[in-house]
Protein backbone atom coordinates (compact mmCIF):
# COMPACT_ATOMS: atom_id res chain seq x y z
CA UNK A 1 0.00 0.00 0.00
CA UNK A 2 1.28 3.44 -0.92
CA UNK A 3 1.50 5.88 1.96
CA UNK A 4 -0.69 8.88 1.35
CA UNK A 5 -2.34 11.19 3.80
CA UNK A 6 -5.66 9.61 2.86
CA UNK A 7 -4.58 5.97 3.38
CA UNK A 8 -2.90 6.90 6.66
CA UNK A 9 -6.04 8.73 7.81
CA UNK A 10 -8.22 5.72 6.92
CA UNK A 11 -5.88 3.29 8.70
CA UNK A 12 -5.83 5.47 11.83
CA UNK A 13 -9.64 5.80 11.77
CA UNK A 14 -10.01 2.01 11.49
CA UNK A 15 -7.52 1.35 14.31
CA UNK A 16 -9.15 3.98 16.53
CA UNK A 17 -12.51 2.33 15.94
CA UNK A 18 -11.08 -0.99 17.10
CA UNK A 19 -9.50 0.69 20.13
CA UNK A 20 -12.89 2.04 21.22
CA UNK A 21 -14.37 -1.46 20.81
CA UNK A 22 -11.56 -2.83 22.98
CA UNK A 23 -12.16 -0.08 25.57
CA UNK A 24 -15.82 -1.14 25.71
CA UNK A 25 -14.79 -4.78 26.10
CA UNK A 26 -12.26 -4.00 28.82
CA UNK A 27 -14.93 -2.07 30.71
CA UNK A 28 -17.50 -4.82 30.08
CA UNK A 29 -15.25 -7.55 31.42
CA UNK A 30 -14.24 -5.47 34.44
CA UNK A 31 -17.93 -4.94 35.23
CA UNK A 32 -18.68 -8.62 34.65
CA UNK A 33 -15.90 -9.59 37.07
CA UNK A 34 -17.35 -7.27 39.72
CA UNK A 35 -20.83 -8.74 39.42
CA UNK A 36 -20.23 -12.47 38.98
CA UNK A 37 -20.17 -14.64 42.09
CA UNK A 38 -18.06 -17.52 40.74
CA UNK A 39 -14.37 -16.94 41.62
CA UNK A 40 -13.03 -18.79 38.57
CA UNK A 41 -15.23 -16.74 36.24
CA UNK A 42 -14.19 -13.55 38.03
CA UNK A 43 -10.54 -14.46 37.31
CA UNK A 44 -11.32 -15.25 33.67
CA UNK A 45 -13.17 -11.98 33.14
CA UNK A 46 -10.31 -9.99 34.68
CA UNK A 47 -7.90 -11.85 32.38
CA UNK A 48 -10.03 -10.95 29.33
CA UNK A 49 -10.06 -7.30 30.48
CA UNK A 50 -6.24 -7.36 30.80
CA UNK A 51 -5.97 -8.88 27.32
CA UNK A 52 -8.13 -6.07 25.89
CA UNK A 53 -5.84 -3.52 27.56
CA UNK A 54 -2.82 -5.14 25.87
CA UNK A 55 -4.61 -5.11 22.51
CA UNK A 56 -5.29 -1.38 22.94
CA UNK A 57 -1.58 -0.74 23.48
CA UNK A 58 -0.70 -2.81 20.39
CA UNK A 59 -3.09 -0.81 18.20
CA UNK A 60 -1.89 2.49 19.68
CA UNK A 61 1.65 1.44 18.74
CA UNK A 62 0.50 0.88 15.16
CA UNK A 63 -1.08 4.36 15.07
CA UNK A 64 2.13 5.86 16.48
CA UNK A 65 4.15 4.08 13.76
CA UNK A 66 2.02 5.95 11.22
CA UNK A 67 3.25 9.15 12.80
CA UNK A 68 -0.08 9.95 14.39
CA UNK A 69 -0.90 10.64 18.00
CA UNK A 70 -3.22 8.36 19.96
CA UNK A 71 -4.27 11.06 22.43
CA UNK A 72 -7.45 11.87 20.54
CA UNK A 73 -10.07 9.17 20.64
CA UNK A 74 -12.71 9.66 18.01
CA UNK A 75 -13.38 6.04 17.26
CA UNK A 76 -14.71 6.66 13.78
CA UNK A 77 -17.63 4.67 12.40
CA UNK A 78 -16.50 1.34 13.88
CA UNK A 79 -16.43 2.73 17.40
CA UNK A 80 -19.71 4.57 16.96
CA UNK A 81 -21.39 1.34 15.91
CA UNK A 82 -20.09 -0.56 18.87
CA UNK A 83 -21.99 0.29 21.98
CA UNK A 84 -23.11 -3.23 22.72
CA UNK A 85 -21.04 -3.56 25.90
CA UNK A 86 -22.38 -0.29 27.22
CA UNK A 87 -25.98 -1.24 26.37
CA UNK A 88 -25.77 -4.61 28.11
CA UNK A 89 -24.26 -3.36 31.34
CA UNK A 90 -27.70 -3.23 32.91
CA UNK A 91 -27.86 -7.04 32.82
CA UNK A 92 -24.94 -7.14 35.28
CA UNK A 93 -26.73 -5.37 38.08
CA UNK A 94 -28.74 -8.41 39.12
CA UNK A 95 -25.60 -10.53 39.45
CA UNK A 96 -27.33 -13.15 37.29
CA UNK A 97 -24.45 -15.30 36.01
CA UNK A 98 -26.32 -16.47 32.93
CA UNK A 99 -27.27 -12.90 31.98
CA UNK A 100 -23.67 -11.76 32.48
CA UNK A 101 -22.33 -14.59 30.29
CA UNK A 102 -24.91 -13.85 27.59
CA UNK A 103 -23.98 -10.16 27.71
CA UNK A 104 -20.30 -11.09 27.27
CA UNK A 105 -21.17 -13.32 24.32
CA UNK A 106 -23.14 -10.50 22.70
CA UNK A 107 -20.27 -8.06 23.26
CA UNK A 108 -17.69 -10.42 21.78
CA UNK A 109 -19.85 -11.24 18.77
CA UNK A 110 -20.18 -7.52 18.06
CA UNK A 111 -16.41 -7.02 18.45
CA UNK A 112 -15.68 -9.91 16.06
CA UNK A 113 -18.05 -8.40 13.51
CA UNK A 114 -16.24 -5.04 13.72
CA UNK A 115 -12.81 -6.68 13.47
CA UNK A 116 -13.89 -8.56 10.34
CA UNK A 117 -15.26 -5.32 8.91
CA UNK A 118 -11.95 -3.56 9.64
CA UNK A 119 -10.06 -6.29 7.75
CA UNK A 120 -12.50 -6.25 4.82
CA UNK A 121 -12.29 -2.46 4.43
CA UNK A 122 -8.69 -2.95 3.35
CA UNK A 123 -7.37 0.32 4.81
CA UNK A 124 -4.67 -1.39 6.86
CA UNK A 125 -1.07 -2.13 5.98
CA UNK A 126 0.32 -5.65 6.08
CA UNK A 127 1.75 -5.40 9.62
CA UNK A 128 -1.49 -3.84 10.88
CA UNK A 129 -3.53 -6.62 9.25
CA UNK A 130 -1.27 -9.09 11.04
CA UNK A 131 -1.86 -7.48 14.46
CA UNK A 132 -5.62 -7.10 13.89
CA UNK A 133 -5.92 -10.72 12.63
CA UNK A 134 -4.06 -12.02 15.68
CA UNK A 135 -6.35 -10.05 17.99
CA UNK A 136 -9.44 -11.24 16.11
CA UNK A 137 -8.27 -14.82 16.54
CA UNK A 138 -7.84 -14.32 20.27
CA UNK A 139 -11.28 -12.67 20.63
CA UNK A 140 -12.84 -15.62 18.76
CA UNK A 141 -11.09 -18.01 21.18
CA UNK A 142 -12.38 -15.99 24.14
CA UNK A 143 -15.90 -16.15 22.71
CA UNK A 144 -15.62 -19.95 22.40
CA UNK A 145 -14.45 -20.17 26.05
CA UNK A 146 -17.34 -18.00 27.24
CA UNK A 147 -19.87 -20.03 25.24
CA UNK A 148 -18.60 -23.17 27.01
CA UNK A 149 -19.35 -21.52 30.37
CA UNK A 150 -22.91 -20.88 29.21
CA UNK A 151 -23.66 -24.60 28.99
DSSP string, 11-40: HHHHHHHHHHHHHHHHHHHHHHHHH---HH
For the chain, the 3-state helix, strand and coil shares in percent, each to the nearest 5, are: 80, 0, 20
Assigned architecture for domain 2-69+94-150? Up-down Bundle (1.20)
pLDDT in tens, 59-115: 999 999 998 887 654 444 444 444 555 555 555 566 688 888 888 998 899 999 999
Where exactly are the structural domains of the chain? 2-69+94-150
pTM of this structure:
0.86
Amino acid sequence: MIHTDETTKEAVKTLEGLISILEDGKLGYTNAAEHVENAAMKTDFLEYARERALFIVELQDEINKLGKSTDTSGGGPLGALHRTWIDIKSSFTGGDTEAIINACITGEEAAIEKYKMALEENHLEYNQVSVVSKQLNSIQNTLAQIKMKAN
